[in-house]
């Protein structure tokens, strides 16, 4: 058993991408590999056996060619208004969710430690991703994601920095300097991430940094264009491309599972809509999932985006779609007898009523889409596979469960993941994505091979 850990000087240092790349690179060395992140914070989750985990660890497991497992992300925090919902080993822990943040750490550590120990026993290498920075000295007493995990796994650490932001050498030195000596010794290499420009301008920075810290710079990883979703699922992309069908995805404040639209960006001109005018000219308007449907409904009303969605639905040739919470928002009414989310009148574009229930439904699901009239006819009869993460039951006027529904040019479904199905994308937008996840994982491993000290990477796990 052995482990390697990727930490970062800051959030958004590229830890997730580097961890994903290392998972595939170590698989190429003939090793059985598992990813691990003790605690993740994201409203983008995937359903696996046993419950839900963060999308980053789901992708890393795919890169490692293993079945994703709740132990790979034993604690998932899903942000809510002023707090966060705690998902422990795939399931919501209501009691811990009510506790103040600092009071959760010690209660969660045994779960994290046990999950990590089991993975270390079952796999040749566990590639661990940290969170934030190990040098957040105000949070050090509550650390359950960075150096405490590295110590438990006896893992050497690669410290990554986003050089594109500037100040990379100061970030690396400052992070190293704020750590106690026994944690400094765990850092075996610095990685300059997202580099673009002339590499000849880097010296003497890496050499001076090594003299100050004793830590070599072991990788200069270029800025990589890839097709993996980012942690929040809606990062800014390249400028609008012509010739593709325009799609506006409404990004309300509690929008969730936005990661599932990454492949859509290959076949459509995707824009993230936060203002009414962002819907102008869109041929398709998409309402994604929501962590808080009632609060997002209020935002739709207050911002005017809700009126813009209704207006778009009335224009010839425009399709409006909702996924999960988006389906609920398109209905007539939200009912909340248990005080779970909130009540109110929906946008009224689908003849549906949603009642929020106490328990969250988390499951993978397969079904065959029913026969649809235009403009959805191309979807008729397609077998689809997805996942459900929801806390509501939706019925039509006859009282029947509404999992997939269409009414003229407005449609919705509860299944997440359909926009990652090439057949669904082709039916809706006339094209299949040209680049696959598998190709992306291979490309990331190629980048590691070319731009990181692979002799050091092999040595970290005991390979000659």
The β-bridge relationship of strands 410-413 and 319-323 is parallel
**What is residue 241's DSSP assignment?**
P
**Residue 191: closest CA among 161, 157, 224:** 161
Choosing from 183, 278, 292, 416, which is the catalytic residue?
416
**What is residue 134's DSSP assignment?**
T
The β-bridge relationship of strands 91-92 and 83-88 is antiparallel
Q: Return the H-helix or E-strand segment holding 414.
A: none
The CA-CA-CA angle for residues 156, 439, 436, to 5°, reads: 125
Q: Alpha-carbon distance 143 to 170, whole Å?
A: 23
**Residue 441: closest CA among 23, 15, 2, 90:** 23
Range 296-324 burial, b when 16+ CB lie within 10 A, else e? bbebbeebebbebbbebbeeeebbbbbbb
Choosing from 183, 226, 278, 324, which is the catalytic residue?
324
Which residues are paired to 407 by β-bridges?
410
The CA-CA-CA angle for residues 83, 70, 359, to 5°, reads: 55
Task: Identify the residue whose tokens are 């942690």.
Answer: 231
Active site residue 324: yes
Q: Burial, 201: exposed, middle or buried (Cβ in 10 Å; 0-12, 13-18, 19+)?
A: exposed
CB 258 within 8 A of CB 288: yes
Q: Is the link from the previous residue into 40 a cis peptide, with omega within 30 of 0?
A: no
Q: Alpha-carbon distance 47 to 242, whole Å?
A: 35
- 437-451 and 15-28 helices cross at what angle (nearest 10)? 90
Q: Alpha-carbon distance 157 to 5, whole Å?
A: 5
Enzyme catalytic residues: 324, 416
């Amino acid at each position: 058993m052995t482990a390697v850990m990727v930490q970062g000087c800051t959030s958004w240092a590229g830890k997730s991408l580097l961890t994903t790349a290392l998972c595939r690179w170590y698989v190429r060395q003939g090793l059985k590999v598992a990813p691990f992140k003790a605690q993740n914070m994201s409203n983008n989750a995937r359903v696996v056996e046993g419950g839900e985990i963060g999308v980053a660890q789901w992708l890393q497991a795919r890169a490692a060619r293993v079945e994703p497992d709740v132990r790979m992300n034993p604690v998932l925090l899903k942000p809510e208004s002023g707090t966060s919902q705690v998902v422990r080993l795939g399931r919501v822990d209501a009691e811990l969710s009510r506790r103040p943040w600092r009071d959760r750490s010690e209660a969660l550590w045994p779960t994290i430690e046990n999950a990590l120990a089991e993975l270390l026993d079952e796999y040749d290498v566990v590639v661990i991703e940290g969170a934030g920075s190990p040098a957040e000295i105000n949070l050090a007493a509550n650390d359950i994601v960075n150096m405490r995990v590295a110590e438990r796994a006896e893992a050497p650490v690669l410290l990554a920095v986003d050089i594109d932001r500037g100040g990379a050498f100061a970030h690396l030195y400052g992070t190293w300097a704020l750590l106690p000596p026994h944690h400094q010794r765990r850092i075996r290499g610095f990685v300059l991430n997202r580099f673009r420009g002339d590499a000849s301008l880097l010296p003497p920075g890496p050499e001076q940094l090594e003299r100050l810290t004793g830590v070599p710079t072991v990788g200069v990883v270029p800025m990589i264009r890839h097709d993996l979703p980012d942690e929040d699922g809606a990062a800014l992309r390249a400028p609008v491309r012509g010739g593709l069908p325009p799609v506006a995805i409404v990004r309300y404040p509690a929008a969730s599972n936005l990661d599932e639209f990454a492949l859509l960006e290959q076949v459509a001109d995707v824009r993230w809509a936060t203002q009414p005018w962002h819907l102008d000219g869109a041929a398709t308007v998409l309402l994604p999932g929501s962590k808080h449907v009632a609060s997002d409904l209020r935002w739709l009303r207050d911002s005017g985006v809700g009126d813009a969605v209704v207006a778009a639905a009335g224009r010839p040739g425009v399709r409006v779609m909702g996924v999960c919470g988006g389906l609920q928002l398109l209905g007539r009414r939200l009912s909340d007898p248990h005080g779970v989310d909130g009540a109110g009148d929906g946008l009224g574009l689908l003849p549906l009523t949603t009642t929020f229930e106490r328990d969250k439904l988390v499951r993978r699901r397969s079904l065959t889409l029913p026969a649809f009239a235009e403009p959805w006819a191309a979807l008729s009869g397609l077998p689809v596979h997805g996942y459900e993460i929801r806390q509501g039951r939706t019925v039509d006027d006859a009282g029947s469960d509404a999992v997939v529904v269409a009414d003229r040019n407005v449609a919705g479904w509860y299944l997440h993941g359909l926009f990652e199905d090439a057949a669904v994308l082709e039916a809706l937008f006339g094209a299949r994505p040209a680049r696959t996840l598998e190709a992306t994982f291979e490309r990331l491993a190629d980048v590691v091979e070319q731009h990181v000290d692979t002799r050091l990477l092999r040595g970290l796990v005991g390979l000659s």
